[in-house]
Structure 1
Amino acid sequence: MRKAIIFCITALVIGFHAVAQELPRVEMQTSLGDIVVAIDTINAPVTAKNFIKHIENGTYENALFYRVVRLNNQPANEIKIEVIQGGIYTEPRFESIKPIAHETTEMTGLKHLDGTLSMARSEPGTASTEFFICVGDQPELDFGGKRNPDGQGFAAFGQVISGLDVARKIQQQKDKQQTLVDKVVISSIKIY
């Protein structure tokens, strides 16, 4: 009984410490304005730490927002979403960078809400550098959602806390089959 009480008290202390812990913030400076995101290292540790590692290692030097998905530019998709996608896009090819384990929203408890930062992927466990920001709530990107046939959803790991208007502005830029005609350069991406 005493061990059970000590365990419960320890669990509560750890839980309170995690809630009180401030999440790291990342600022993305673009030509259309700045976007600040809180990175959830508590609920999505694998995905969040991967993103932070790439910032610290300079992977995102010369990064871009290069893809926009709107209701009107995905005619072949039965399940429609709205996001802007960014990352390194070109050299070094992101496919050659070691991928991470897939943290589903079922595992993390996070959801793809308006302003959620998440990892792009093909198959589960293939995400490495490319990320996207949700424009509006996107439940079909959560675990069990129908956007991806495997039903595993995408790995949410952050939330825009300022600059969602910038994400919306990026989403409205001219595209050709979801690829921006003029890519939006992320001139600086830093942790603070």
Structure 2
Amino acid sequence: MKQIAFLVILSWCCLACKSKHVYDNPHVRIETSFGDIELELFDKKAPKTAGAFLAYVDSGFYDNSNFYRVLNITNQPSDAPKTELIQGGLWKSNNAKARSLKGTPHETTLQTGILHKTGVISMARNEPGSATTEFFICMDNEPGLDYNGENMADKQGFAAFGRVVKGMDVAKMIYKESDINQQFKTPIPIFKIVRL
């Protein structure tokens, strides 16, 4: 009888182990009204940026937030460097919280080696070191967002820290939504972001 009980407990443990994912890098899931987007975060290459993002995730800051901004070929000035991305965070859903947070020290792509390629996630910012909860996903290769790129006058680029590993089709659906002046006509709900 003891052997049967032991085998039952052992089989439960094995099933529990199989259901848990083991990743080399942290993974999170962005749960949206369009479907889920899974990200792999490069916490060893960009520890400050990935660490800040994970802290916001763990604090539940992204619960009931949204994707609210889109940059596409048609909504940018003709004489400006073009960028294709979708941006999300707390700016529309909890602006006071977004403004209250201390900025994350800037990690350039020169330091991390994480370039702004299709599916890469990066932190939005004004000045270097001002990034907090706002992030964007690149819809194409965007070298202008890298260190020494043409999209920022200070040439420091943006702090990339991960990439989409599942759900790029969801990001593309969001990207195609209608906008006015680079803002989605209807912000796309982010129900929550959770660690996997």
CA distance in 2, matches of 1:104, 1:51: 16
Per-residue Cα deviation, 1:154-181 (whole angstroms, up to 9, x for no partner): 0000000011111111111010001001
Whether contact under 8 Å (2:88, 2:136) holds in the other structure is: yes
TM-score by length of 2: 0.85
Does structure 1 residue 26 correspond to structure 2 residue 25? no
Provide the residue aligned with 2:38 in structure 1.
36
Provide the residue aligned with 1:101 in structure 2.
105
Match of 2:152, SS state, is coil
CA distance in 2, matches of 1:97, 1:179: 23
Does structure 1 residue 61 correspond to structure 2 residue 63? yes
* Aligned pairs (5 A) from 1:153-192: 153-192=157-196
Provide the residue aligned with 2:141 in structure 1.
137
Whether contact under 8 Å (2:32, 2:188) holds in the other structure is: yes
5+ residue gaps, structure 2, are 1-22
5+ residue gaps, structure 1, are 1-20
Match of 1:51, SS state, is helix
Provide the residue aligned with 1:14 in structure 2.
none
Give the superposition deviation at 1:76: 5.6
Tell me which stretches of 4 or more aligned residues in structure 1 moved more than 4 Å: none
Percent identical among aligned pairs is 43
TM-score by length of 1: 0.87
Whether contact under 8 Å (2:85, 2:175) holds in the other structure is: yes
Match of 2:48, SS state, is helix
Give the superposition deviation at 1:82: 0.3
CA distance in 2, matches of 1:82, 1:147: 12
Give the superposition deviation at 1:188: 2.1
Give the superposition deviation at 1:143: 0.2
CA distance in 1, matches of 2:130, 2:192: 25
- Match for residue 51 of structure 2 among 49, 52, 64: 49
| AA at the equivalent of 2:113 | G
CA distance in 2, matches of 1:70, 1:104: 24
CA distance in 2, matches of 1:39, 1:22: 10
| AA at the equivalent of 1:103 | E
Based on CA coordinates, which of the two structures has the bigger radius of gyration?
2
Match of 2:170, SS state, is helix
Give the superposition deviation at 1:92: 4.2
